[in-house]
A and B are shown apart, each in its own frame.
Chain A
Amino acid sequence: MAAVQDTIEQVRGVDVDKYKYGFKTEIESELAPKGLSEDIVRYISGKNDEPEWLLEWRLEAYRRWLTMEEPDWARVDYPKIDFQDLYYYAAPKTTEGPKSLDEVDPILLETYAKLGIPLKEQEILAGVRKHDEPSTLDEDGVGEMGSGRVAIDAVFDSVSVVTTFKKELAKAGVIFCSISEAVREHPELVKKYLGTVVPQSDNFYATLNSAVYSDGSFVYIPEGVRCPMELSTYFRINEENTGQFERTLIIAEKGSYVSYLEGCTAPMRDENQLHAAVVELVALDDAEIKYSTVQNWYPGDANGKGGIYNFVTKRGDCRGKNSKISWTQVETGSAITWKYPSCILRGENSRGEFYSIAISNGRQQVDSGTKMIHLGKNSSSRIISKGISAGHSQNTYRGLVSAHRKATGARNFTQCDSLLIGDKCGAHTVPYIEAKNSSSTFEHEATTSKISDDQMFYARQRGLGEEEAVALIVNGFVRDVLQHLPMEFMAETQKLIGISLEGSVG
């Protein structure tokens, strides 16, 4: 394991450049033939050893998808994607069915290091120590990773390669594994919940995902259980011309609680890579799911060449009374972001939250926001969105808050703040509000501001360089949202904000 320790050391010494995750890992991989057809759907299903019902489900989605049109209502602009020119399956060859960490390719471990997987987690991933042993990194005293108790599922191109902490989680009755494994081991759960929050036919990308998703994470928290640690998934796109289509399904039974983190990176490439994930959350009576994302896919270069197209459908269903789902997202990467993590507030007294930081720079285009659909009595929701646009980027907040006739006493508070850096970028706010009963109260506040010259002068007079001053002021601007991130991610995010805004002044 000395080599791994070395990697850890190296990574600690690495300087952050503009996109520090822009490396490519040389791992032999197994690709399905290019293009999309029923055969490819069968191939993917076969690779995962799936039961007949799932294959049928996929095929149904595929046939449906053929009849659908790519949506064009978002404020994003990109050349038409040739869906026949993509690979729909790429699995790292060396990692077929790893059952223990020792079987994991050292190059993969190196990859984790470059991914910025928190160092203490890497130690665990790498088997340098067990989670209850003290970390050699502790003398730093920074406590950068808090307890260091985070279970990880790593998804590399299309396939989940390793899940940590399984045994300990199993003791608590928690299931945390790749979704393909869940299909094998817990088919009744998958069958019961898959596609019940985001139906197969929901939208163009979700339907595509239903047909060709290759893997993803599955979480099940039994009744009354508070998940003993944070759960985390790292997604990495590596292969050229691949689409990555993960599927995540999280179920929180009555009275349970789970906090889940998602992080993502991709190498720098000239071509655009497609990413279309689906995330479904189900919270039953009195259950709570906290879902946090730090999205740092490659954004493309300064002229808008390359970068990830990120078309994601994320939705949570507050199915039970008093249930709660909270989305926190930090969106700094991708050439195009099309993403609206939403909550269906079905249960009486249920609560949905959306906290978002969306930063765009260069030629990035972000169209993101949320939907809060109030169906249950006295359901409440809260939206805090902070959009920062710099360079030539376009940043749109698109939100829908609706209250059904029966959702009496529904409440929403929305605060939508935009910050502009420079005068070549754009910020747009598109809020839709629909109340079908008279006892709902919806409040909406929106502001647009610029970093003032006075603030810049003041900070620089104290010794901060221009970029440092911008990063500090922006970090202040997003503070309300930062506070909702798990401790583990806060410091990383603050740094990431600085990196994302490099080159935005002057």
Chain B
Amino acid sequence: MLDIKNLHVKIADEDTEILKGVNLTVNPGEVHAIMGPNGSGKSTLSYVLSGKEDYEVTEGSVTYDGADLLDMEIEERASAGLFLAFQYPIEIPGVPTMTFLRTALNAQRKARGEEELTTPAFMKLVKEKAQQLKVRPEMLKRPVNVGFSGGEKKRAEILQMAVLEPKLCVLDETDSGLDIDALRVVAEGVNALRSPDRAMIVITHYQRLLEYIVPDVVHVLSNGRVVKTGGKELALELEANGYAEFETEAA
């Protein structure tokens, strides 16, 4: 589904290279976890996948569903099923979350040549998903992420994901800021989306999330490279020993 080959990325207008040859293959139905020290390039990878303009790909390729992902506009990637749950969700003052979501869903459907959803059908869908994720309906009337607590923002991201039903979900530190109960609710929400034709990339610092969302593969990203790949037990190992081993390797 996703094939990243020798990806080199630098910040546009600067020389600092952040990703230094990342290789990663994700198949439908799989859940991949990416762990790694602060500043190793995890968020950068998620941004490059979704098309953020501050970065420049200097080498390598990314293929998504057979297409050249790097050649697609941001919104094209979205309607092709790529979703990024932001590490720091963005506020949009004055735009009710509900309106934002409906506009987004219908824009995606339109781009895919599907019928737009009627207002009642949309309301029904959102209410259902909100209930599953224990998001209070009043929150949907509030402007996108404005005044949301850290945990509420993360939950709202997952709600958006559940409504948009993407094919490739990239979750950037969705667990940080969540209390223990919220973590379980969100993880259940994510697990409910697991399906044979949907893949996930879960970026996290903590083994705890992976107890709920059990990954098929765990990668360690350090200093812009995938330095180790293993099964779910790799996360446990990291929890015990930290990243010291990889940092020396990278230096």
Contacts and interface: CB of A to CB of B under 8 A. Distances in A.
A460 B164 CA distance: 13
B92 interface: yes
Interface in A459-500: 459-466, 468, 472-473, 475-480
B107 A455 contact: no
B103 A454 contact: no
A457 B53 contact: yes
Interface string A444-459: 0000000011110111
The interface centre, meaning the residue of A455, A472, A477, A480 with most chain B CB atoms within 10 A of its CB, is: A472
Contacts of B105: 463
A423 B179 CA distance: 43
A458 B86 contact: yes
Contacts of B92: 455, 458-459, 472-473, 476
A463 B164 contact: yes
Nearest to A460: B74
A462 B90 contact: no
Contact of A462 (B53, B54, B73, B160): B160
B75 A464 contact: yes
Contacts of A462: 78, 100-101, 104, 107-108, 160, 164
Contact of B100 (A453, A472, A479): A472
Nearest to A454: B90
Given A457-B74, A458-B89, A463 B94 contact: no
B74 A475 contact: no
A468 B116 CA distance: 15
Interface string A247-266: 00000000000000000000
Contact of B90 (A458, A478, A479): A458
The interface centre, meaning the residue of A455, A457, A461 with most chain B CB atoms within 10 A of its CB, is: A461
Interface in A201-235: none
B211 to A, nearest CB: 29
B107 A476 contact: no
Nearest to A457: B52
Nearest to B89: A458
Contacts of B53: 453, 457
Interface in B16-34: none
Interface string B48-89: 001111100000000000000000011101110001101001
A473 B78 contact: no
The interface centre, meaning the residue of B73, B101, B104, B108 with most chain A CB atoms within 10 A of its CB, is: B104
Contacts of B107: 462-465, 468
B230 interface: no
Looking at chain A's contact residues, the main secondary structure is helix
B111 A463 contact: yes
Say which size band chain B's interface belongs to: 20 to 34
Interface string B106-118: 0110010000000
A119 B78 CA distance: 36
Contact of B143 (A458, A465, A476): A476
A460 B52 CA distance: 10
A465 B75 contact: yes
B108 A463 contact: yes
B93 interface: yes
Nearest to A479: B94
B79 A463 contact: yes
A452 B103 CA distance: 19
B95 interface: yes
A172 B63 CA distance: 71
A458 B53 CA distance: 12
Contact of A455 (B78, B90, B160): B90
Contact of B95 (A453, A454, A472): A472
A465 B104 CA distance: 9
Nearest to B112: A463
A459 B164 CA distance: 13
B125 to A, nearest CB: 15
Interface in A372-409: none
The interface centre, meaning the residue of A452, A462, A466 with most chain B CB atoms within 10 A of its CB, is: A462
Nearest to A451: B92
Contacts of B91: 455
B215 to A, nearest CB: 23
Nearest to A480: B94
B148 to A, nearest CB: 14
A461 B100 contact: no
Contacts of A455: 90-92
B103 A472 contact: yes
A320 B18 CA distance: 69
A161 to B, nearest CB: 37
A455 B88 CA distance: 12
B103 A468 contact: yes
Contacts of A473: 92, 95
B119 to A, nearest CB: 9
B104 A464 contact: yes
A455 B143 CA distance: 13
Contact of A461 (B84, B103, B111): B84
B62 to A, nearest CB: 16
A503 to B, nearest CB: 17
Contacts of B79: 463
B52 A475 contact: no
Contact of B93 (A454, A457, A466, A477): A477
A376 to B, nearest CB: 34
Contacts of A468: 103, 107
A434 to B, nearest CB: 32
Nearest to A465: B75
Interface in A115-153: none
B156 to A, nearest CB: 12
B90 A463 contact: no
A454 B92 CA distance: 10
A238 B51 CA distance: 47
A455 B84 CA distance: 14
Interface of B: 50-54, 73-75, 77-79, 83-84, 86, 89-95, 99-101, 103-105, 107-108, 111, 143, 160, 164
10 contacts: A453-B53, A459-B100, A459-B104, A461-B78, A462-B107, A462-B164, A463-B104, A465-B107, A475-B94, A479-B95
Given A457-B74, A461-B83, A465-B107, 10 more contacts: A454-B90, A459-B100, A460-B74, A461-B51, A461-B74, A462-B78, A463-B104, A466-B75, A473-B95, A480-B94
What 10 pairs between A and B have smallest CB-CB spacing? A476-B94, A476-B95, A479-B94, A462-B104, A463-B108, A458-B90, A460-B74, A463-B78, A463-B107, A460-B75
